[in-house]
Amino acid sequence: MKRIGIMTTGGDCSGLNTAIQRIYQGAKLKGWKVFGLLDGTDGLCETPPKVIEFDDGTLPIENARLSGSFLHNGRAEALNFETAIKRGKINQFNKKLRKSLLELNLDALILVGGNGSLSLAWCNKEIYAGLQLICIPKTIDMDIPLTDATIGFDTAVQQLTSFCDQLMLTARSHHRWFVVQSMGRDCGQLALHAGIAIGAKAILIPEIKFDINSLIANIKKADTDYGIILVSEGISLRGHSGRPADMISRKLTALGIANRTAFPEHTQRVGDTTAADRILATRMADCALNAIENQETYVMTAIQNNVCKTISLNEFFNAGEITDDPKISSMKTSDSYVSPDNPLLQIAVDMGIYIGEIK
């Protein structure tokens, strides 16, 4: 009888509970035992490690639609890769993780994480030696290379779209513009998709340079005096500091264009998981369990051309743009961004949406 563990790490999102519940359901049918590792790597650093054994009552199917992670994703100040490096305890941290995993006597570990967590897993692969490591990609940023979809992204797009839909009503009532700042870090996928969905008048993302004067000219010549300007949190405006939405708002105000800023913040990470994300989570859970059965290790589940498959973590890591981890010095992260040939960029142009100075 196999013993498999599930761990969620990094930022939370909708779809995590669906993935957890489906992994348990599929594993139970194979006669395997399933253990949930609480608080990610934080829980592994405790003595004894924080672990629960799943049964049919642990995570009822009706709760699998809820956002967040039943297993938790860790505490900000607990000992983790980030704080261990800051405190000069990375070697002790790695040894503790390794020791805890050996004590749990797992055959396989399914790690559900973002590009930072998956990059860390590959760069510290010796921690997981002796067990099968299967990774499932989740992130609202959609910045993971070699997969066309990540758990949580579709729900985040829906949440941001719904937020902007409501703002559009008050924008119309008061003849004003709303500058809405989305999450996404240095990747503009979330803002781009939601911006197309709501019919924004402008979408500003980190991957596309924009000219503030061109933006303002497009707003002035718009056929309405209200609407949404959707701004990704990763954009910058030369000579200005502060939150991107505030920077754009100040420019509009200086020219007499009525506007307000709005920050949906963590509402983008919550909300009942959409059907698309539930289906994706189920497909990736099934793929991960099949990978364990096929004796695969150090792999990531991925959607490519609507086929769910596994790819090696080495392939994932080297396929992206490898950059310094924003929070962990000396660590590297593999990042994916909005491609210049993304069809949504041309669609935005065709629909009269200012998307920046694209060629």
CA geometry: angle 312, 313, 316, nearest 5 deg:
95
Which class for 140: exposed (0-12), middle (13-18), buried (19 or more C-beta within 10 A)? buried
Pair of tokens at residue 287: 């793929």
CA distances from 128 to 109, 120, 151, 225, 285 (A): 8, 12, 23, 57, 20
Which class for 317: exposed (0-12), middle (13-18), buried (19 or more C-beta within 10 A)? buried
SS3 label, residue 50:
coil
Which class for 36: exposed (0-12), middle (13-18), buried (19 or more C-beta within 10 A)? buried
φ, ψ for residue 265, nearest 5 deg: 50, -130
SS3 label, residue 70:
coil
CA distances from 97 to 93, 102, 116, 253, 281 (A): 6, 9, 17, 52, 27
**Which residue among the candidates 141, 186, 277, 335 is catalytic per the annotation?**
141
Going by their DSSP bridges, the two strands 51-53 and 33-37 should be labelled as antiparallel
Q: Among 190, 112, 116, which Cα is nearest to 155's?
A: 190
Q: What is the largest CA-CA distance in the chain?
A: 70
The reply to whether 12 belongs to the active site is: no
SS3 label, residue 124:
coil
* Secondary element (H or E) of residue 344: helix 343-350
Q: Among 38, 42, 64, which Cα is nearest to 52's?
A: 38
For residues 70, 73, 78 and 80, what is the CA-based torsion angle, rounded to 10 degrees? Answer: 140
Contacts (Cβ under 8 Å, ≥6 apart) of 258: 174, 175, 176, 177, 225
Give the residue numbers marked as catalytic: 141
